[in-house]
């Protein structure tokens, strides 16, 4: 094991993130905690003194990916006395001490409920010269109460809840993240205000099931109220949220989206399957007609809404007709894009033990038909936007080889990725207006001149290389039934 650093040493760190937006949010907290403890971020291409792997247990081959990465890190650690490796996230919560058993060069294993323990566990591992494994069974403080080091100067994730009360038969998240716990509205808004004070223009409200927000607080209408209140924060230009669940999605949320100018007309609404029989076996608690009714009401209130989704192909027992029902829904809704997945067993889930597991070749063939259809729809929907003026919040590092092509990238208000011709003086975090000139299935192109360019404080921070930090808001778990009052002014799923 490693020796303790001297007082003058500046130990470096790197956090590698796998999986969902909740893991991205947690990784920002891990970086903030490490910097509070005196670590500094490792430079590009440099080996770090501490490498943290924030893992996912949902994706296929998650175990293979983790142990493959740990295998690559072993010779690096052997060549660097004092280096430490920490493993956290959902896979750590699930596998616990078996990680150290399989990879004894790991120094720390921590779970989804004790993100804040990482610096102490690293120090304990150095002092005791042995691996530290600490997995809590319940959340003690919200991750959002911890300091954060954010990658973007112009946008930020704001967690409104953790955990999930759903029992989808394909999903292991509730057993790893726990039951839903809602954050106090006042704490959410205080964090949003702190971000805006730093120049952030866009926030995404994040939860495993955001529109169930309020059930833990005794207020079923709390999410619509929170959307309106967040949109009313002075200086905040864009509000997004992910992910909702069709079961809990109500008309007051649609109204809040339509009536609050800062709330973007973008909706990620997981479908999973277009077959009622499959939805029943998935234990999704809604059916095809309810789903389509929600989409119809969203489109009536916001005709320009870009709707995206998740679809699982090849769930146990899925027949050809079940799959055709899914294709029918995809054709009817005309999603802007879709995250499509081939079903694979997740140990510990009810679906893994179901009869009717499909051959891989059947799942693959259906998957290719689905993706071909969605690609066709996405391209047609994007072509309909050629000639339209779009407002873009410029970003860094989105899209492939932008710099080589003399382009930059930005996100439209509806969430679409748009590549623009690079213009001197336009920085990530600035806001521009331009006209769409070309469409591809997964992005738009605007190669003409900019119609406008607004420099922002976020752009100034990006240009200066400043990564925003927040101190964390809300020191404990919510008091059930006693939410902080919302002001009167207006990302699993």
The mean pLDDT value for 408-428 works out to: 95
Question: Per-residue pLDDT tens for 62-76?
Answer: 777 888 999 999 999
Note the pLDDT of residue 59: 65
Mean pLDDT calculated for residue range 446-462:
94
pLDDT-derived band at 137 (thresholds 50, 70, 90) equals confident
Query: What is the CATH superfamily name and number for domain 12-134?
Result: Methylthiotransferase, N-terminal domain (3.40.50.12160)
209 contacts 466 by C-beta, under 8 angstroms: no
CA distances to 80, 84, 324, 412, 482 from 74, in Å: 10, 10, 47, 42, 49
pLDDT (tens digit per residue) in 247-289:
999 999 999 999 999 999 999 999 999 999 999 999 999 999 9
What is the reported pLDDT for 9?
Answer: 63
Q: What is the pLDDT of residues 328-381, one digit of tens each?
A: 999 999 999 999 999 988 878 999 999 999 999 999 999 999 999 999 999 999
pLDDT above 70: residue 480: no
Residue 429 has pLDDT above 50, yes or no: yes
Span 143-383 CATH architecture: Alpha-Beta Horseshoe (3.80)
User: Bigger pLDDT: 411 or 64?
Assistant: 411
Q: What is the pLDDT of residue 404?
A: 55
Domain spans in the chain, listed from the N-terminal domain onward: 12-134, 143-383, 389-470
Architecture label for domain 389-470: Beta Barrel (2.40)
């Amino acid at each position: 094991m490693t020796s303790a650093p001297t007082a003058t040493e500046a130990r470096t760190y790197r956090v590698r993130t796998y999986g969902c937006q909740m893991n991205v949010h947690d990784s920002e907290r891990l970086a903030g905690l490490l910097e509070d403890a005196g670590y500094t971020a490792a430079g590009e291409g440099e080996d770090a003194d501490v490498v943290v792997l924030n893992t996912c247990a949902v994706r296929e081959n998650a175990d293979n990916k983790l142990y493959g990465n740990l295998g690559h890190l072993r010779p690096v650690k052997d060549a660097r006395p004092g280096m430490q490796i920490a493993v956290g996230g959902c896979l750590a919560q699930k596998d616990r001490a078996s990680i150290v058993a399989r990879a004894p060069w790991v120094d720390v294993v921590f779970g989804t409920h004790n993100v804040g323990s990482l610096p102490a566990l690293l120090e304990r591992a150095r002092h005791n010269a042995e691996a530290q494994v600490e997995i809590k069974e319940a959340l003690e403080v919200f991750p959002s109460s911890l300091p954060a080091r954010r990658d973007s100067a112009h946008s930020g994730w704001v967690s409104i809840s953790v955990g999930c009360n759903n029992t989808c038969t394909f999903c292991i998240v509730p057993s790893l993240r726990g039951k839903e716990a809602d954050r106090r509205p006042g704490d959410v808004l205080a964090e949003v205000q702190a971000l805006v004070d730093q120049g952030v223009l866009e926030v995404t409200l994040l939860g495993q099931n955001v529109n169930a927000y309020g059930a833990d607080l005794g207020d079923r209408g709390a999410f619509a109220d929170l959307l309106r209140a967040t949109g009313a924060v002075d200086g905040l230009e864009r509000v997004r949220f992910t992910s909702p669940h069709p079961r809990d999605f109500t008309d007051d949320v649609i109204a809040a989206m339509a009536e609050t100018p800062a709330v973007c007309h973008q909706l990620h609404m997981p479908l999973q399957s277009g077959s009622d029989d499959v939805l029943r076996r998935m234990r999704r608690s809604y059916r095809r007609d309810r789903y389509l009714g929600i989409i119809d009401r969203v489109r009536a209130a916001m005709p320009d809404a870009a709707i995206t989704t998740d679809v699982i192909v090849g769930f146990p027992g899925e027949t050809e007709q079940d799959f055709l029902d899914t294709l029918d829904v995809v054709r009817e809704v005309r999603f802007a894009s879709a995250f499509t997945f081939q079903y694979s067993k997740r140990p510990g889930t009810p679906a893994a033990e179901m009869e009717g597991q499909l051959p891989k070749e059947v799942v693959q063939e259906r998957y290719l038909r689905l993706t071909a259809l969605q690609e066709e729809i996405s391209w047609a929907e994007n072509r309909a936007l050629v000639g339209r003026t779009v407002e873009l919040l410029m970003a860094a590092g989105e899209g492939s080889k932008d710099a080589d092509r003399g382009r930059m990238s930005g996100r439209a208000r509806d969430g679409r990725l748009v590549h623009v011709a690079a213009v001197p003086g336009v920085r990530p975090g600035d806001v521009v207006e331009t006209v769409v000139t070309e469409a591809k299935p997964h992005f738009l192109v605007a190669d003409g001149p900019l119609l406008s360019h607004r420099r922002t404080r976020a752009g100034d921070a990006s240009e200066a290389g400043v990564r925003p930090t927040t101190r964390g808001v809300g020191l404990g778990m919510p008091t059930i039934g006693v939410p902080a009052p919302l002001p009167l002014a207006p990302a699993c799923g």
